[in-house]
Amino acid sequence: MSVMLKSALRTLPVALLCAAILPATAQPPKRATIMDEAQVAPYTLPDPLVCEDGSPVLDAQTWREKRRPEILRLCENEWFGKTPIGKPKAMRFVVREEKKDARGGKATRLRVALLYTGKEDGPQTELLIYLPNHVKGKVPIILALSFDGNFATTEEADIPLPHHWVNGLGIQLKEHLPAESMRGSNSHSWPYDYALEHGFGVATAGYGDVEPDYPGGDKLGYRSAIKAFQNGGGSRMGTVGAWAWSLSRCVDYLGTNPRVDAKKIAIQGHSRLGKAALWAAAQDERIALVISNESGAGGAALNKRIFGETVGDLARRFPHWFCPNFAKYSENEDAMPVDSHELISLIAPRPVLITSAVEDRWSDPKGEFLAAVAADPVYRLLGGDGVGSTQWPGAPGFVPGKIGYWIRQGKHDVLLEDWKTYIAFAESHFRSKR
Ligand code: GTR
């Protein structure tokens, strides 16, 4: 299937469903989309180093104890919604398979069920893990959710089909088994062998098995079975928050695996899952490094810089992604009390890599870079370096630093050349970490 067709299939059913269930008056009229840099209007960003009472943040302690909690609260109340609980008491992990000679002997493959309520017949997600056989001892690992499930990331015939829902097959309101023809269909975005050769493990799970991606999808995921997730009003957790929560549950498991270096768990996410990766890392300090690939509006791109997709577009097309309060900023981004540079600053001083693609203008590559630049003062305050340059690089271009930035030619996607940058970035930051 062509990339364009896949991307249309990915968004069309959700957009149609949203149009059908939302009253026409629920959203303010849409402004014209801006795709021309000359038309970008001036905007003002909140200062991450000025507290709500107007006092400056001059040291790490004030950041940690006062300003960081303020920003975290704003992200919870106005953007992603509140995460009500961590790991449920009853949750357990069941290793379904350990295959020592996977991928031509290069890897040990594990399939681990995350049983959210502890019950075999309750909501669950299967984590697929590859660990390099040539490395003795603990390894760093990159954890990432996928759009179409584990079976679409690899040609291996013995990976089971997902439980609930597969993005590339569109909206399914009932339990649905996808077509076998999708096996391996996204493998170009999952170069496992490259990561393994470089001594990295990779772990993945299908986001549709965590929570299907449409309004009401929470009825099929873990949230329906755990009471703490049921309420929340205007700050009720959105689906991006639900995916972020599941990343932390994957980290819970990875921390128990003796082959995984628990101090070197990196997460990656593409697009909507890049939004989830940033939010997961902002909340969960066990995550040592984050890669947010082409995450755009509601992710790494500055929301107040109106270019490409906006908060208004997100609120209209994907009302379930964020908390209900987020819709207040539809076509009203100036009023947002928080922006993506502050989301990134919550991750400081841990390394974060923001990545863009030149033709992915809908995600506003320049706005993604400018968010990295605007997060820099927080990284510097905490004693590390921030972003290595304030000049937006041409493609292909890489800006090193604790906040790294990578831009390549081409479209909205994840390619081997992106993974090469991920691994080089992670290697450089993990090298000094014992
Ligand atoms: C687009 C959406 C973006 C991005 C992307 C994706 O349609 O407008 O915010 O998240 O989908 O996840 O593929």
Tens digit of each residue's pLDDT (9 = 90 or more) over 217-235: 898 889 999 999 998 899 9
Distance 272 CA to ligand 1 centre (A): 5
Ligand 1 atom with least separation from CA of 7? 13
Sorting pLDDT into bands at 50, 70 and 90, what band is 28?
Answer: confident
Supply the DSSP symbol for 408. E
Q: Which of 292, 330, 362 to mutate to test the pocket of ligand 1 (most atoms within 8 A of CB)?
A: 362
Q: In this structure, which residue's CA is closest to atom 13 in ligand 1?
A: 271
Is the pLDDT score of 174 beyond 60? no
Q: Which of 3, 4, 7, 11 to mutate to test the pocket of ligand 1 (most atoms within 8 A of CB)?
A: 11
Distance 139 CA to ligand 1 centre (A): 32
Structure tokens at 434: 């014992």
Q: Is 271 a catalytic residue?
A: yes
Distance 2 CA to ligand 1 centre (A): 17
Q: What's the CA gap between 361 and 358, in Å, rounded? A: 7
Q: Which of 18, 268, 271, 309 to mutate to test the pocket of ligand 1 (most atoms within 8 A of CB)?
A: 271
Is the pLDDT score of 172 beyond 70? no
Distance 128 CA to ligand 1 centre (A): 24
| CA–CA distances in Å: residue 400 to residues 221, 298, 313, 318, 405 | 38, 24, 32, 33, 7
Sorting pLDDT into bands at 50, 70 and 90, what band is 187?
Answer: very high
Q: Is 134 a catalytic residue?
A: no
Instruction: Give pLDDT, residue 9.
Output: 42
Sorting pLDDT into bands at 50, 70 and 90, what band is 258?
Answer: very high
Given the residues 163, 164, 320, 412, select the one marked as catalytic.
412
pLDDT (mean) for 38-62: 98
- What's the chain's average pLDDT? 92
Q: What's the CA gap between 120 and 378, in Å, rounded? A: 44
Q: What's the CA gap between 297 and 239, in Å, rounded? A: 15
Ligand 1 atom with least separation from CA of 362? 8
Sorting pLDDT into bands at 50, 70 and 90, what band is 24?
Answer: very low
Instruction: Give pLDDT, residue 169.
Output: 65
Pocket of ligand 1 (CB under 6 A): 10-11, 271-272, 296-297, 309
Q: In this structure, which residue's CA is closest to atom 10 in ligand 1?
A: 272
Ligand 1 atom with least separation from CA of 273? 12
Is the pLDDT score of 282 beyond 90? yes
Given the residues 189, 271, 356, 363, select the one marked as catalytic.
271
For 154, residues 6+ apart whose C-beta sits below 8 A from its C-beta are: 128, 184, 187, 190, 192
pLDDT (mean) for 11-34: 59
Number of C-beta neighbours around residue 394 at 10 A: 9
Q: What's the CA gap between 248 and 263, in Å, rounded? A: 14
Read off the pLDDT of residues 349-385 as tens digits, 9 standing for 90 and up: 999 999 999 999 999 999 999 999 999 999 999 988 9
Instruction: Give pLDDT, residue 336.
Output: 98
Read off the pLDDT of residues 290-335 as tens digits, 9 standing for 90 and up: 999 999 999 999 999 999 999 999 999 999 999 999 999 999 999 9
Number of domains forming the structure of the chain:
1
- Long-range contacts (CB closer than 8 Å, 24 or more residues apart) made by 120-124: 120/94, 122/225, 123/220, 123/221, 123/222, 123/224, 123/225, 124/163, 124/209
**56 exposed, middle or buried (CB, 10 Å; 0-12, 13-18, 19+)?**
exposed
Instruction: Give pLDDT, residue 77.
Output: 98
Is the pLDDT score of 19 beyond 90? no
Domain that holds residue 77: 3-430
Is the pLDDT score of 3 beyond 50? no
Of 368, 298, 281, the closest CA to residue 336 belongs to: 298
Structure tokens at 45: 């960003």
Return the CATH number at 261.
3.40.50.1820
